[in-house]
C-alpha cells in the first residue's frame, strides 16, 4: 500500500446576516488512519453523538482487507468541515468507491464537497485507480447533479465489497490508462532495466550480469528486438522485451520483469496488451511467450490475457524441475 499525502487550501467567501463579506481558508487533506480527536468531531457531526468505536471498527475492517483513506476538510481553526472515504475493491485493485460524503450545514453550497472529491481523484490516480464508483439516492438531486458535473455516468447496479446500497443509483467515472511504454535508448534507462531484472532474479532463474554487458546487449541496435520501460507517469515499473521482429508472422514476449512493489497492480496486463498491439502493428499474427513451471504469477497472467498453453518442456535433471518450461501462444 502507498501512503500518499495531499493538502489543498482554498478560500471560501461568506456573508454575515448584515451582508458583510468574510473569507475563510479551508484545508482539505487525506488521512489514512484518523486521530481520536478527528474521529470524535466526525461522529458528532454525522451522527450527533460520539462514536469513536464505530469509526474504529469501520477503519479496521476496510483497511485490513484492502486500501482505504479519508478526505477531510477543516477550517483554519481546525474545526471539522467535511469528510468522504475511499475504499479499494477486494477483487479488482483498479476499482475504487467513494462515499459517506458529508459537509457540515453552515459550510454547504461553498463547493467544499466538489473540492474534496477532486482531491480524492488526485490520490486515486496515484494509487492506480482506473474506475471510481459511487452510489446516490435517486431523490438526492444536488448529489445527482454533482456526479454529472464531475463526469460520472450512471451504470447498471452492482454491489461493491460488502457495502449495502440497495435502492441507490450506481455511477462510475473512468480515469483512463495509467501506464505507458517508453523505448529504451539511453544508458540510464539500461541501468533501470538491469535493476528491475536483478530484483526479479530468483523468479527468472537468471544470472548476474555486469552493467557493461547490459549496455552492450541492449544498445546494440538489434533489429529483431525492442526493449521498453513500462512507466506509471515518469516512474518505470517494469521492463518488457519483445523479439521476433525480423520474422514473418510470430513475435515473442521474451522478458517481463515488474518492480516488486508494483506487482498485482495491473502492470503485467498492460505490458502484455501493449506487446500484442505493438506486434500487431508490425504485421504479426501470433505472439508467444514461455515461463517456468514455478512462476505462478506469470502463468496466471498469461491465462488471464487469453493465452493458450501449447507445450511443456521438462528439464533434463529432476534437481532443476523448476526450470521446466511452459510455452503459451495467442493469435492476435
pLDDT of residue 93: 86
CATH classification code of 7-174: 3.40.630.30
Q: Are strands 286-292 and 308-313 parallel, antiparallel or unpaired?
A: unpaired
CATH architecture of 179-331: 3-Layer(aba) Sandwich (3.40)
What CA dihedral angle connects 232, 236, 237 and 241, to 10 degrees? 120
What CA dihedral angle connects 122, 125, 126 and 130, to 10 degrees? 160
The pTM of the full predicted model, rounded to 2 decimals, is 0.65
Residue 7 has pLDDT above 70, yes or no: no
Listed by start position, the domains of the chain span 7-174, 179-331
Q: How far is CA 244 from CA 107, 117, 206, 241, 310, in A?
A: 62, 47, 21, 10, 18
Q: How confident is the model at residue 3 (pLDDT cuts 50, 70, 90)?
A: very low
CB half-sphere exposure, 235, CA atoms < 13 A: 11
Asked if 7-174 and 179-331 have one fold, the answer is: yes
- Segment 23-50 mean pLDDT: 88
Q: How confident is the model at residue 161 (pLDDT cuts 50, 70, 90)?
A: very high
Amino acid at each position: 500500500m502507498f501512503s500518499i499525502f495531499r493538502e489543498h487550501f482554498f478560500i471560501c467567501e461568506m456573508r454575515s446576516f448584515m451582508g458583510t463579506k468574510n473569507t475563510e481558508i479551508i484545508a482539505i487533506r487525506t488521512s489514512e488512519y484518523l486521530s481520536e480527536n478527528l474521529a470524535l468531531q466526525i461522529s458528532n457531526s454525522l451522527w450527533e453523538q460520539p462514536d469513536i468505536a464505530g469509526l474504529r471498527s469501520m477503519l479496521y475492517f476496510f483497511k485490513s482487507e484492502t486500501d482505504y483513506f479519508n478526505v477531510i476538510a477543516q477550517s483554519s481553526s481546525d474545526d471539522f468541515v467535511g469528510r468522504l472515504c475511499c475504499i479499494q475493491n477486494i477483487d479488482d485493485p483498479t476499482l475504487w468507491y467513494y462515499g459517506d460524503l458529508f459537509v457540515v450545514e453552515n459550510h454547504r453550497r461553498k463547493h467544499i464537497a466538489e473540492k474534496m472529491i477532486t482531491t480524492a481523484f488526485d490520490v486515486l490516480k496515484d494509487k492506480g485507480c482506473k474506475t471510481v464508483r459511487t452510489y446516490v439516492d435517486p431523490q438526492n438531486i444536488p448529489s445527482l447533479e454533482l456526479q454529472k458535473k464531475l463526469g460520472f455516468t450512471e451504470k447498471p447496479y452492482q454491489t461493491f465489497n460488502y457495502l449495502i446500497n440497495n435502492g441507490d443509483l450506481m455511477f462510475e467515472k473512468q480515469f483512463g490508462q495509467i501506464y505507458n511504454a517508453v523505448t529504451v535508448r539511453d544508458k540510464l534507462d539500461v541501468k533501470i532495466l538491469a535493476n528491475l531484472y536483478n530484483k526479479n532474479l530468483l523468479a527468472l532463474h537468471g544470472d548476474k550480469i555486469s552493467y557493461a554487458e547490459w549496455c552492450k546487449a541492449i544498445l546494440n541496435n538489434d533489429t529483431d528486438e525492442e526493449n521498453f520501460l513500462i512507466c506509471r507517469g515518469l516512474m518505470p515499473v517494469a521492463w518488457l522485451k519483445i523479439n521476433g521482429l525480423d520474422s514473418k508472422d510470430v513475435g515473442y514476449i521474451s522478458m517481463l520483469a515488474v518492480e516488486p512493489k508494483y506487482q498485482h497492480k495491473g502492470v503485467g496486463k498492460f505490458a502484455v496488451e501493449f506487446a500484442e498491439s505493438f506486434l500487431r502493428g508490425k504485421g504479426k499474427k501470433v505472439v508467444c511467450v514461455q515461463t517456468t513451471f514455478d512462476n505462478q504469477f506469470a502463468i496466471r497472467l498469461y491465462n488471464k490475457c487469453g493465452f493458450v498453453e501449447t507445450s511443456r518442456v521438462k528439464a533434463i535433471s529432476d534437481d532443476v524441475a523448476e526450470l521446466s518450461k511452459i510455452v503459451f501462444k495467442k493469435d492476435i
